[in-house]
Amino acid sequence: MQKSPTPQPAAALDNRQLDLPLFAEPGSTSSSPSPSAPTATPHGQQPAVPLAPDGSKLRKLVIGSRTLHYALKRSARRSIGFAIDSTGLTITAPRWVTLADIETAITEKQRWIFTKLIEWQTRVEQRALPKVDWKDGAQVPYLGQPVHVRLGSPQGTLAFSAEDSALQVPLPLQADPQQIKDRVQGWLQGEAKRVFGERLAIYAEKLGVNYRAYALSSAATRWGSCSSDGKIRLNWRLIHFPLSIIDYVVAHELAHLREMNHSPRFWQTVESIFPEFREARQTLKSHPPELLPTL
């Protein structure tokens, strides 16, 4: 997702977990315009509306000549939040905010909403382009370089040759594509676990912090996250990117052990151990996950 120009209130920064979204600035967006004042009387009972699988209410709003469909969730948050991803628009609003107030807020942000919905639709259409043809000779990106899949490993084991940029997979040439995919993806995830662990150790020492544990994630909207109790999660698909991008995400999450926010002090902390973070952040921002191979 991408962020609305409207800044979040300071209260929104008091999180127990800080995430690095898939779009480096940030990949999952929740913008929080100032809420309307609560009304003295409760809103009238609403007619039954369909529900999404996650329990949110599905609604539609006609704005001019366009019809906008959105999911509505109620929560204890203090303001109305807007989030857009491949499933469309989701509104998260306080329980006391009326539907009329919510629709007014949507109308005020309609330009941003429709722009981002079009961007997401474009990404969804692009996603079909880079599918991997799982057979002998298939290519997958590994640390920023293409790796060629070679079936029929002479050693009978999975073996990677950096010199040839080839991954020997002990499967016959007639192997089922799903078998090939599972073997290659398993190798990539194993490499992610190894490489990320090495980089975390290096940058944790540079920053003088200790993280409690780390694990791989397959999140659809986050490159990484750091919880207040020192647990770090890193998206395994970062292994597709050059080491500099991995280092940026690692430095970003470790910096949250000092600053659980995205304040100027936080970015100064990132810069203290990874001075090139601006270039890496821009690279990550310009390479959305939809353009990665569909694994």
Residue-wise pLDDT tens digits, 257-286: 999 988 999 999 999 999 988 888 877 776
More confident residue, 25 or 21: 21
Q: Domains in the chain and their CATH numbers?
A: 10-127 (no CATH), 139-291 (3.30.2010.10)
**Going by C-beta distance under 8 Å and a sequence separation of 6 or more, which residues neighbour residue 75?**
92, 93, 94, 95
Residue 128 has pLDDT above 70, yes or no: no
pLDDT score for 186: 95
- Looking at this protein, which amino acid is placed at residue 216? L
Q: In the chain, how many H helices and how many E strands?
A: 6, 12
Q: Mean pLDDT in the chain?
A: 78
Structure-model confidence comparison of residues 79 and 38, the more confident one: 79
Report the relative pairing of strands 81-85 and 88-94 from DSSP bridges: antiparallel
> Phi then psi for 105, rounded to 5 degrees?
-65, -40
pLDDT at residue 150 greater than cutoff 50? yes
Q: Give the Cα separation of 74 and 90 in Å (integer).
A: 11
Is the pLDDT higher at 83 or at 43? 83
Of 150, 222, 143, 189, residue with least CA distance to 295: 189
Q: Taking the CB of residue 159, how many other CB atoms lie within 10 A of it?
A: 15
Mean pLDDT of 244-250: 93
Interior/surface letters 42-59, b for 16+ CB within 10 angstroms, e for the rest: eeeeeeeeeeeeeebbeb
Tens digit of each residue's pLDDT (9 = 90 or more) over 171-180 = 999 999 999 9
